[in-house]
A and B are shown apart, each in its own frame.
Chain A
Amino acid sequence: MTEKAFTSEAALKRLKKRRGKEWRFRLWGRAAIGFALAALAWLLISIVGTGYTAFQQNFMTLEFELSESVLAPDGTRDPEKLRGANYRRIVQTTMYELFPEVTDRKAKQELFGLTSASGATNKLRQMVYKNPDLIGKTVSVTVPASDQIDQLLKGYIKRDTDESRRKVSDQQIAWADTLKERGIIKKKFNRILFMNPDSRDPELAGIASAVIGSVMILVVAFVLAFPIGVGAAIYLDEFAPKNKFTDFIEININNLAAVPSIVFGLLGLAVFLNFMGMPRSIPLVGGMVLALRVFPTITIATRSALQGVSPSIVDGALSLGASHTQAVFQQKLPLAAPGILTGSIIGMAQALGETAPLLMIGMVAFVTEVPNSITEPATALPVQIFLWSDSAERAWAERTSAAIIVLLVVLITMNGFAIWLRNRLEQRR
């Protein structure tokens, strides 16, 4: 053979260059994936790293003497009076007795500051209110330490910083260490985080009301969005004539799926609150707004599930004398069910993470009670995260991160289940 143009020295050199480019191109691809995964890792590590400690909290187990002279000086057991009694004094007395040598007024105040003032007083108030017979007795009660002490003992407040630049005094540090040695302060699982509603004190704040609010919102959203989403999909895919109006509905649904969520909030504000006069901050309205937000997602998923079912199924049913409606509802829909379910779970996960539309309909209220019905003011988990994130204190950052961890775990579970379902479905095909 004659000299080949492709094996000449110039061609080989060129080939080397081309292979270099190929290699760099792949490298860019790997770098892009690396970037995305690194961002994900940074996000998760930063939040888990800040938040995991919030699942434990420092508590103090103290002996409180519920003296009658303080709580019921007149000797009656009137519930209203018991509610308003001076529990703070009891807590103070107990705290002062821990270190009897302290006499200075200012020092006493600092000593009292070791415990969560409202945490302790509320707990005692509840106990006495429920069981007035406790008056006059001494009870051993576990109450949360103040957020500063909690942060100190978790190591977030650095001991070696200058005393004037940290919120815990040297004296308080010494006390806290002593109490820890004496076994009065102990780190325990943080039930408060899960069982309490919101509070102004970080050591008492929990996500209970937000979680219940989110559940209510999701239930309302699902009850509305599921029939709308699936119904619209069935109509468009199975029964709709191909005309301009059907096209219009289709474009509408596809567009709604991409409309910014805050616009749905504006819709809710203008229509549900201002026009219909529904109250602000209630899960019912939140659920309605989010139903409108997510039903297009369910419609799109349902349509692709329906399109994935072989048309021969319907043809087979029709050939046996079933009506078209029967064929669709009795044969096709059950086969598409896993796909519909996957889409619905993904839609609900989307609704669970939404914040902006809920802000618009006033779900930013400070809710200190767990809501009992969908017409009572409530907040939602992402909104709670948003509200807490506003506070700069370390204790709040920890709690916010913990709330995010809870939210992410739920979301990952939901999405993971949806993906698992989808994979199973694909394997079966």
Chain B
Amino acid sequence: MGQISIYMMLLIAVLTIGGFVYNRSSALGKFRAARAAAGGKMVSSAWHSQASYHGYFTAWLVALSTLAVFIIGLVINGQGMVFNGLWLAAIILTALGVTIITGRKVSGTFRARTYVERFIHGLLICLSVIAVLTTLGIIASLLFESLRFFREVPFMDFLFGLQWSPQTAMRADQVGQSGSFGAIPVFAGTFLIMLVAMAIAGPVGLMIAIYLTEYASAGVRKWIKPAIEILAGVPTVVYGFFALLTFAPFVRGFAETLGFSVPTQSALAAGVVMGVMIIPFVSSLSSDVINSVPQTLRDGSYALGATESETMKKVVFTAALPGIIGAFMLAISRAIGETMIVYMAAGKAANLTANPFEAVTTVTVQIVALLTGDSDFDSAKTLVAFALGLVLFVITLILNVVALTVVRRYRARY
């Protein structure tokens, strides 16, 4: 079906271009005729739209109508329609009909350009609405599957339960039994790793932003900034592999020299690597914020005899604080939603602990673990992944919206 559909699309494209060429030339012809009739004196303003707009007008209508016929055919006859000569004829006839009818409309007073521009506006609106549809699609699909899950497991048991072992609840007699789907250990693990990551990315990212905006010369900045941005461009799976191959064994070896044993998968290993990944995120957002603090505030502080660091700490930082908080919130949202590093380096087993040297699991790890296995899609085990996804989405949504609002207000102030 694939290839023939492509030919169909090509046919529609050809018909569309044909409609454009035909009506553009017919408009040009009428235009010249009118000018000749007026003794070559007619000014172009007597024509509302340029010839090519008459062409575009036809092209739009041809494309829309033939696509409509194509889709109707698909709906009625299924994919077999592409072999059906009748539908082929219908498409070609529609195109010809539209081309000829619109061709008759070509005249000086016909507002082809207005119509074409309305088409364009309509199309642009449709494209913008896709963003809203995507959000709605996310909410609807997460809600729908989550509700199916909550029919089997009470909402409160999920949100506040302390036992997480969805894999053992797969047997029919165990589904929904109390304790199996308590997500607190998963949330706690997510939180712990986020804390470790922010403990690295927060101070380091902020200091980089401060140094690059306030101290570094333009020449240094030109080299350091892109170098640090490379960290943001490295795919997360690469960080995960690095954590797995190099960093986790390093942490383990380091802990062993100190005399205590650490599992290869630990919240610390995953959190630190994630922290490194988030550094450029924090530093570039903070740089923007610090840069937008007006120079007059710095001058005011310098003029009182403050050093640069005093100015930075006591004036610029205070002024930038709302924006920096916004930046940190976005970074936290990123840390919570990060998947590959934790999946590869943090662990799969739920473990309610505050000790970063132990293995913990996270929301995203569980979603992947529950949905990549071969399993019946309707079991509570897979549906719970959507409930976790819903929690993840809601939390990141709140963080993002609050952070974006804070940052925007902050920008508006300066």
Q: Taking beta carbons and an 8 Å cutoff, which residues of A are in contact with B? A: 18-19, 21-22, 25-26, 28-33, 35-37, 39-40, 42-43, 46-47, 50, 227-228, 231-232, 234-236, 239-240, 248-249, 251-256, 258-264, 266-267, 269-271, 274-275, 292, 295-296, 299, 323, 325, 329, 349, 352-356, 359-360, 362, 364, 373-375, 382-383, 385-386, 389, 397, 400-401, 404, 407-408, 411-412, 415, 419
Contacts and interface: CB of A to CB of B under 8 A. Distances in A.
Contacts of A264: 138
B414 interface: no
Contacts of B228: 33, 36-37, 40
Given A29-B215, A400-B241, A404-B241, A267 B208 contact: no
Interface of A is mostly: helix
A131 B193 CA distance: 59
A325 to B, nearest CB: 4
Contacts of A29: 207-208, 210-211, 215
Interface string B195-211: 00000000111111011
B300 interface: no
Interface of B: 2, 113, 117, 120-121, 123-125, 127-132, 134-135, 137-138, 141-142, 144-145, 203-208, 210-212, 215, 224, 226-231, 233-242, 244-246, 276, 279-280, 283, 307-310, 312-313, 330, 333-334, 336-340, 343-344, 364, 367-368, 371-372, 377, 385-386, 389, 392-393, 396-397, 400-401, 404
A252 B131 contact: yes
Contacts of B137: 267, 271
Contact of B134 (A30, A267, A352, A359): A267
A259 B131 contact: no
Contact of B208 (A32, A239, A253, A373): A32
B309 A325 contact: no
Given A36-B276, A349-B233, A266 B2 contact: no
A235 B368 contact: no
A39 B226 contact: no
B235 A411 contact: yes
Contacts of B333: 258, 260
A355 B404 contact: no
Given A36-B280, A353-B233, 10 more contacts: A21-B309, A37-B228, A231-B127, A249-B128, A262-B337, A262-B392, A263-B138, A263-B389, A270-B386, A325-B117
Nearest to A321: B45
A356 B117 contact: no
Given A46-B242, A232-B130, A389-B244, A355 B235 contact: yes
A61 to B, nearest CB: 33
B124 A407 contact: no
Contacts of B280: 36
A25 B246 CA distance: 32
A386 B239 CA distance: 11
A33 B231 CA distance: 12
Contact of A356 (B2, B130, B368): B368
Contacts of A259: 138, 337, 393, 396-397, 400
Contacts of B397: 255, 259
Contacts of A359: 368, 371-372
B312 A25 contact: yes
Contacts of A46: 242, 245-246
Q: Nearest 8 CB-CB pairs, A to B? A: A260-B337, A29-B211, A353-B235, A231-B127, A270-B141, A32-B207, A25-B309, A235-B124
Nearest to A266: B389
B128 A255 contact: no
B235 A407 contact: yes
Given A18-B307, A19-B307, A262-B337, A360 B124 contact: no
B203 A260 contact: no
B230 A263 contact: no
A260 to B, nearest CB: 2
A391 to B, nearest CB: 11
Given A47-B238, A50-B245, A267-B134, A28 B207 contact: yes
Given A260-B339, A266-B389, A411 B142 contact: no
15 contacts: A18-B310, A21-B307, A32-B208, A39-B231, A235-B121, A239-B121, A255-B397, A259-B138, A259-B397, A260-B364, A274-B377, A353-B238, A362-B372, A386-B237, A386-B340
Given A43-B242, A234-B124, A249 B129 contact: yes
B231 A36 contact: yes
Contact of B204 (A36, A50, A362): A36
Given A29-B210, A33-B224, A36-B231, A228 B127 contact: yes
Contact of A412 (B230, B308, B340, B393): B230
B257 to A, nearest CB: 19
A28 B131 CA distance: 42
A26 B132 contact: no
Contacts of B401: 251, 255
A382 B203 CA distance: 30
B357 to A, nearest CB: 20
Given A22-B309, A262-B339, A256 B131 contact: yes
A269 B371 contact: yes
Given A33-B228, A36-B204, A231-B123, A389 B138 contact: no
B135 A270 contact: no
Nearest to B389: A266
Nearest to B50: A326
Contacts of B368: 262, 356, 359-360
A263 B334 CA distance: 12
Nearest to A232: B128
A94 B190 CA distance: 57
Contacts of B242: 43, 46-47
Nearest to B142: A266
Given A47-B242, A50-B245, A26 B215 contact: yes
A42 B241 CA distance: 13
Contacts of A375: 2
Contacts of A43: 234, 238-239, 242, 276
Contacts of B124: 231-232, 234-235, 239
B131 A263 contact: no
A360 B238 contact: no
A234 B229 CA distance: 28
Given A46-B242, A47-B242, A31 B207 contact: yes
A252 B138 CA distance: 12
B364 to A, nearest CB: 5
Nearest to B208: A32
Contact of A408 (B132, B134, B206, B234): B234
Contact of A262 (B211, B234, B238, B364): B364
Given A18-B310, A21-B309, A231-B124, A385 B389 contact: no
